[in-house]
Amino acid sequence: MADIVVTAAKVAVIFPEKAEIFDMIAAEAITKGEAVYQTAAGKAAASGGASAAVAQFMGIALNKASAGMAVSVLKKGLVAGFTLSSQAYGAPIYLSVTAGSLADAAGTIVSVVGRVVPLPDKDLTKALFVESNMAKIWA
């Protein structure tokens, strides 16, 4: 399993008019591009596929936030800023065992967060489509 490289400065929603974005309060310092989950206290924290307790993927953080500050979270939509050159179109992307990171293979807990899709440009640029299944319970 290899973690997907994210360049925080390049993380941006593609086609924002079609995206689902909501705000949460950060439980800890959050980096732009991190996968987040909702803690029992209702706050955002770095998500990961190492245990069911933190594998409740809510989305991708769209801004940097300190604990107690607001963080915008992409629940559903296309996002740029992830290096996907080694992944095939349609490849699933998972939560990594590294907190806040995504990977090309499942961690201890299998949590698919999205897929690699082509953009409608001449180069078919690869982008990450994410979709949070907030009703799912990982065990």
Q: What's the whole-number mean pLDDT along residues 26-36?
A: 97
**Furthest-apart CA atoms within the chain: distance in Å:** 45
Res 54 pLDDT > 80:
no
Q: pLDDT higher for 116 or 49?
A: 116
Confidence of residue 139 (pLDDT cuts 50, 70, 90): low
- Average pLDDT, rounded, for the chain: 93
Confidence of residue 138 (pLDDT cuts 50, 70, 90): low
Q: Rounded to 5 degrees, what are φ and ψ at 17?
A: -65, -15
Is the CB of residue 21 less than 8 Å from the CB of residue 12?
no
Show me where the domains of the chain are located: 8-131
Closest Cα to residue 24, out of 55, 77, 68, 54? Answer: 68
Cα separations in angstroms, 65 against 18, 36, 56, 75, 126: 24, 12, 20, 17, 27
pLDDT of residue 137: 65
